[in-house]
Structure 1
Amino acid sequence: MDLDPRLLRYFIAVAEERHFSRAAIRLHISQPPLSYAIRQLEDNVGARLLARTSRHVELTDAGHVLYREALTLLRQAEEVRTLVQRVDSGLHGRLRIGFVGSMLYRGLPALLTAMRTTLPDVEHVLTELNSHDQIESVRRGELDLGFIHANPVPEGVLARDLMAEPFVVCLPESHPLAGQESLSLTDLAEDDFVFFARAASPSYYETVLSMCVSAGFMPVIRHEVRHWLSVASLVSQGLGVSIVPACLSRSGLAGTRFIAFEHEARSVSQAIWPTLARSPLQDKAVALVARQFPSSAPPVSMSGGAG
């Protein structure tokens, strides 16, 4: 059965006007094509839809049923058309976003608020993952957008630097140096350290290790964990000291003190997304990232190991 939307619109006009001439005027067509279209529709459905008299038109029982269903079908067709157009323009769908925990203190909440405002019909699915896992997930198409600590990215992944900030020392509040405004790393040469796991981010592990070595000592690494907030949590429990991005000082974690020290290294955060096969929604999300972090560098693609 061919329920041509055009025929359904013609039928609805006749059903509502109860008159062929008025319906033809409403549709901006002449009456003969309208009469032919209604006969064609009746042939298609295999039932008489209208009872014609010399003065007006009445709906048959079958006509009443088709009128009701035709309104529903056309409304659903319009909703589908609108949905497809919104998906095609990047205004509807699902955005899969990965993030490292420190991004909660580096502007991610404000970015998500801007996304919800700009893309209200988009479902945002957030997953906390370390940088290495995010890079692999973006490369495989399992994430649409990721927020990581700066790492080399493989072919097929684009990266944009978002911000750079200094590292600070994280001490338990019971530590003898916890009251200092600044200190030297050499003051911690005898302390146990909590490190960001080498397996989760070789680049961060090496950065922190090199700062200690440059200060003249090899740190005693007692614990390695995969998230910066876990690093700070272990420190708060008195299980060691650490070197962390300055943004963690805004975490409000009880039992910790964050203290500046002299160094040149910076903790850099990046946004990453696929190079190819992007959707309009992903492009809109990337544009929002650039708008939210206006001082960020242009995107780059670098080959190399990810961690």
Structure 2
Amino acid sequence: MNFKQLTYFIAVAEELHFGRAAERLDMAQPPLSRAIKQFEDDLGAILFNRGRSSISLTQAGERLLTRGKSILAQLEDTQLEVRRLGQGAEGRLRIGFVGSATFGILPMIVRSYRANFPDVNLSLNPMNNADLHRALVSRELDVVFARPTLKDPEFLSKHLVDEKLILALPDVVDTQSRTVARLERLQDHHLILYPERPRPSYADMVLKAIEDAGYSAPLRIWCMDLQTALSLVAVGEGVCVVPESVASAPRKGMKFLKIEPEIARTELSVNYRVDEQGVHVKNFVAIAQKVARKVI
């Protein structure tokens, strides 16, 4: 039994007339009659009672009509599902991101992607850069937002945005009317750094920027992620150098000051595997770049 035989049979079974069925199939009647007879021979069953003026279904024909319609419906559904998966309209996408990305353009990118591809299931996974790198190598994630960019010959990286570094500090610190941080005051505060491991990391970039600017941070507190660092700032444990977008979400117990002149900028990039062929990733990266261009 093949798809063509089943299609021919269902047309004749529904029309109960070889002439009308042939017209419906856009073919001549004799080839259709021969095809049905060959189908019956292949099955070893008579499907139609043939009279002089009419035909009717046998019990075997009735059973095949019921099952055949179900089979064709499943084939059509499968074809549609496969086509939508191939177009990236259905399926799943596993996204990894550094915590600071949630304060910047990541939410806008996710909203835009959902608006264009509402039936794709998204899995969102916060990780540090080292874990993002490992998960992308092992194919546990499909696309990741990293800060700084992941360096690996197996990856493709697309620049999204550069951000200034600013200072997060407890709101109990008296800054008077200043909007700019005095980096020499770092000597008086614990500098909260993240992640503690593995190294090198975003923390090392911050330390180098401070040292290159001619200052030092002898008092240090280490933690594993941005959210913990911000919580420590809010309770007065110290100050933290963060991407500028972090200030877009006011948080109780802290305030933000600009650092002038700039000591460094931090880049957010979207990264995926060189051998990635999936249309879901390509669609997502295209939307990420489009959103980033609007933000810039």
- 2:67 corresponding residue in structure 1: 69
Q: Is the 8 A contact 1:150 1:161 kept in 2?
A: no
Q: Is the 8 A contact 2:209 2:263 kept in 1?
A: no
Deviation at 1:48, TM superposition (A): 2.3
Root mean square deviation, CA, Å: 2.1
Amino acid at match of 2:275: L
- 2:10 corresponding residue in structure 1: 12
- 2:122 corresponding residue in structure 1: 124
Deviation at 1:97, TM superposition (A): 0.7
> Where do residues 97-246 of structure 1 align in structure 2 (5 Å cutoff)?
97-177=95-175, 180-200=178-198, 202-213=200-211, 214-222=213-221, 224-246=222-244
* Unmatched runs of 5 consecutive residues or more in structure 2: none
Deviation at 1:195, TM superposition (A): 0.6
**d(CA) in 2 for partners of 1:178, 1:92:** 54
Amino acid at match of 1:76: Q
Q: CA distance change for structure 1 residues 194 and 132 in 2, over 3 Å: closer, same or farther?
A: same
Deviation at 1:194, TM superposition (A): 1.1
Q: CA distance change for structure 1 residues 175 and 208 in 2, over 3 Å: closer, same or farther?
A: same
Deviation at 1:171, TM superposition (A): 1.0
Q: Is the 8 A contact 1:235 1:256 kept in 2?
A: yes
Q: CA distance change for structure 1 residues 248 and 49 in 2, over 3 Å: closer, same or farther?
A: same
> Where do residues 289-304 of structure 1 align in structure 2 (5 Å cutoff)?
289-294=288-293
- Structure 1 stretches of 4+ with a deviation exceeding 4 A read none
C-alpha deviations, 1:12-36, integer Å up to 9, x for none? 1111111111111211222222122
Q: CA distance change for structure 1 residues 184 and 215 in 2, over 3 Å: closer, same or farther?
A: farther
**d(CA) in 1 for partners of 2:40, 2:2:** 12
Amino acid at match of 2:263: E
Q: Is the 8 A contact 2:150 2:271 kept in 1?
A: no
Secondary structure of the 1:202 match is coil
Q: CA distance change for structure 1 residues 155 and 68 in 2, over 3 Å: closer, same or farther?
A: same
TM-score, reference length from structure 1: 0.88
Deviation at 1:179, TM superposition (A): 5.8
Deviation at 1:69, TM superposition (A): 1.3
From 242, 253, 256, give the equivalent of 2:254.
Answer: 256
Count, aligned residues: 294
Amino acid at match of 2:34: Y
Secondary structure of the 2:293 match is coil
Percent of aligned pairs with the same residue?
31
Deviation at 1:200, TM superposition (A): 4.5
Q: Is the 8 A contact 1:135 1:272 kept in 2?
A: no
- 2:50 corresponding residue in structure 1: 52
**d(CA) in 2 for partners of 1:44, 1:245:** 71
* Unmatched runs of 5 consecutive residues or more in structure 1: 298-307
Q: CA distance change for structure 1 residues 177 and 197 in 2, over 3 Å: closer, same or farther?
A: same
Q: CA distance change for structure 1 residues 25 and 115 in 2, over 3 Å: closer, same or farther?
A: same
Secondary structure of the 1:160 match is strand
TM-score, reference length from structure 2: 0.91
Deviation at 1:275, TM superposition (A): 0.9
Deviation at 1:191, TM superposition (A): 1.0
- 1:278 corresponding residue in structure 2: 277
Deviation at 1:149, TM superposition (A): 0.5
**d(CA) in 2 for partners of 1:108, 1:38:** 59
**d(CA) in 2 for partners of 1:123, 1:254:** 33
Deviation at 1:11, TM superposition (A): 1.0
Q: Is the 8 A contact 2:166 2:244 kept in 1?
A: yes
Amino acid at match of 1:290: Q
**d(CA) in 2 for partners of 1:26, 1:244:** 69
Q: Is the 8 A contact 1:158 1:274 kept in 2?
A: yes
**d(CA) in 2 for partners of 1:88, 1:192:** 52
C-alpha deviations, 1:84-125, integer Å up to 9, x for none? 223333333221110111111211111112211222332211
Q: CA distance change for structure 1 residues 174 and 240 in 2, over 3 Å: closer, same or farther?
A: same
**d(CA) in 2 for partners of 1:219, 1:267:** 23
**d(CA) in 2 for partners of 1:235, 1:63:** 77
Q: CA distance change for structure 1 residues 178 and 170 in 2, over 3 Å: closer, same or farther?
A: farther
Deviation at 1:221, TM superposition (A): 0.6
Secondary structure of the 2:85 match is helix
Amino acid at match of 1:74: L
Deviation at 1:201, TM superposition (A): 5.6
C-alpha deviations, 1:229-268, integer Å up to 9, x for none? 2211111111211111111112232111111121231121
**d(CA) in 1 for partners of 2:13, 2:150:** 66
Q: Is the 8 A contact 2:210 2:263 kept in 1?
A: no
